[in-house]
Copies of this chain bind each other. A is one copy, B any other.
Amino acid sequence: MKTLNIGLVGYGFMGRTHSNAFHQAPRFFDLPMKPVLKAICSRNADRAKAFAANWGYESVETDWRTLIDRKDIDLIDIASPNDTHQEIAVAAAKAGKMVMCEKPLGRTAAEAQAMVDAVEAAKVPNSVWYNYRRVPAVTLIKNLIDEGKLGRIFHYRAKFLQDWTISQDLPQGGEGLWRLDVSVAGSGVTGDLLAHCIDTAMWLNGSISEVSAMTETFIKQRKHTLTGKVEPVGIDDASAFLARFGNGSLATFESTRYARGHKALYTLEINGEHASAFWDLHDLHRIQYFDHRDEGRVRGWRSVHVTDGDHPYMKHWWVPGLQIGYEHTFIHQFADFVTAAAEGKSVAPTFRDGLATDHVTDAVLKSALTKQWETVGR
């Protein structure tokens, strides 16, 4: 079988989820290419070596340019912080590599546009790790919508609520905390959390036309780990917006890291003329589904445990009632990527899909400043 030689950039949280996917996908899915964990790249050689030893990478690099130059690498997978995405992706595409990139694609739509241009010019398979599309429950909702079960859509609502930055004592920046450093992350919860909500929303319900947003930074100053000084906080701690979709439906979106009691509560709901669906990351294997065509007396929200063989992806796993977890979403995306890549194709969400989300987050951040409704760019 043909091999797919992978070079990973980044060894953090996402480096682990991706590496796990590279190992697990071929055991549970029939793949047309055999993934080989060829190299892990990080500026910190010691950490890279430890990561390579644990995850079975054959080699280590400390400069991503060197990695891209290697002839034995087919796929560059970018799992490093947001401020590195553009440069690495563009270079990789130019070198003719396939590229997978963590979300958000760019810190801005401008960055993302350059990345799209590069992969499309190079005609290389590409994908952005908006992993939640491949929670089986979320994929099931997509299927139900595509089959027309919901009918005309009236409403969409999504939230991504966390509470891990409420303490004033938490520093910004540094190991594991670059998401709080605006220069690295680009934005706060808008790019980190809302971007997930937006990607799923547009996949399920089409394009977003215009938004009215507000953002807030509740804690204005935090010590910066790298400088050791108390500095102004540049990220948005909370971000919410109203939206109108191209199909005429209305939406509310909200994300925050100050919602006490919620760890990673990504919820979405879509209301159609005939049926509605709801999903919640904290119980990720379930959907709540309501169908108005049920007989009136026994009409209610159905709690569907999405663990059967006829549910998306689930025939590859265990038996009904036995659930899978968070990391499986990456396995699914990687399995789909390899299948498409073997034919030279990209799998959604492509870089172009990632750009679309960046256009919305740009509009959100702009609207929060202008206090106007902003039209979403294309």
- The interface of chain A, by Cβ under 8 A from chain B, is 13, 17, 20, 23, 27, 54-55, 140, 143-144, 154-155, 157, 161-164, 166, 212-214, 216, 218, 238, 240-242, 244, 248, 250, 252, 254, 256, 258-265, 271-276, 281-284, 286-287, 289-292, 294, 296-305, 307-308, 310-311, 317-328, 371-373
Contact = CB atoms under 8 A, between A and B. Distances in A.
A35 to B, nearest CB: 13
A261 B311 contact: no
Contacts of A252: 240, 252, 254
Contacts of A284: 323
Task: Classify the secondary structure of A's interface with B.
Answer: mixed
> Quick one: copies of this chain in the complex?
4
Contacts of A292: 163, 260-261
A310 B297 contact: yes
B324 A214 contact: no
A305 B263 contact: yes
Contacts of A323: 282, 284, 325-326
A271 B260 contact: yes
A258 B162 CA distance: 29
Top-4 shortest CB links A-B: A264-B321, A263-B321, A261-B290, A300-B302
21 contacts: A27-B54, A27-B55, A157-B254, A161-B271, A212-B212, A212-B214, A212-B371, A214-B244, A241-B242, A261-B292, A263-B307, A264-B319, A264-B320, A281-B321, A282-B323, A297-B311, A298-B302, A299-B304, A300-B303, A302-B302, A318-B327
A261 B250 CA distance: 17
